Amino acid sequence: MSRPIRIVDVFTDKPLAGNQLAVVLDGKDLSAKTMQRIAQEMNFSETTFVLPPEDSKHAAKVRIFTPAAELPFAGHPTIGTAWVLADEGMVSGDATDFTLEENVGPVKVRSVKEHGRVLFWMTHPPLTFGPVFPHKEVASAIGVEESAIVHDVPAQVASTGAPFLFVALRDAGAVDSAVSDSPRVRKLLHGDRGHGVFLFAAAGEGRLYSRMFAVDIPEDPATGSASGPLGAFAVKYGLVERAPQVSIVSEQGAKMGRQSFVHIELTYGESKDAPERIEVGGGVMPVLSGTLADFD
């Protein structure tokens, strides 16, 4: 039995940019061990496997694997898989809103046509803030001078299901000067305190310039699961002006030659510190369609 597989680029409107994703459209009867081995074979930051939903009202169940481990939730795999399901006609009717089941729980997605192209959006789970790290330790881990870090903004973990350490740097040049070193990142985040270090700088009104150094890969070109918390973090510490509706575009992956644009939408109430709603969206470009041999 062969299984259809799609490869797409996520958070881009140009092929061969953004973040690569492999989507196995029929994951039924595949063991977790085999899924992990397929993800290792693909060697993208993530590979997803589509399964029948546990709740019939939902579109599908999705399992997400890096080359090293399964994830409970991730952004570009959610956006990319949603696009593939719609493109393959696997979403009932002409639905523009549907729900995917992930290990973190149900994740709502929607599609919107803007300026002749379709953007897919996902709603993040609730936001939490975690521990603060000394600037000196963080600077050493990412290869910059401590003075490159914005001194009055803490280096802090935030999460909507996948924790990342957010570090505000003084400008885009400082972001590009950082050096990815997975062993140093792993040492900094020991004890599962985060999946990676997300460094960024303000780059104009409603714009951020970003990079992400992960524990298990040197650098990620677009990180949707981190971009939602990124927006909330930037607003919390005054790097983006708070308003009832906040729109941000985060440019990521440019330094590594895979420019990505992640759109972030935040909704704030009058009194709450954290946003009431976090959405992340972007474009998806098809790259390859094929079949995968059955390995179980």
- Catalytic residue positions? 46
DSSP single-letter state for residue 166? E
Phi/psi for 70 (5° steps) reads -85, 145
Q: Amino acid letter at 197?
A: V
Cβ atoms of residues 212 and 141 within 8 Å = no
Task: Match 């305190």 to its residue by tokens.
Answer: 193
Q: What is the CA radius of gyration of the chain?
A: 18
Q: Are 197 and 233 in contact (CB under 8 A)?
A: no
103 vs 70, 79, 84, 127, 285, CA distance in Å?
A: 9, 16, 19, 17, 26
> Which of 34, 36, 144, 51 has its CA nearest to residue 90?
51
Q: Number of helices and strands (H, E) in the chain? A: 6, 17
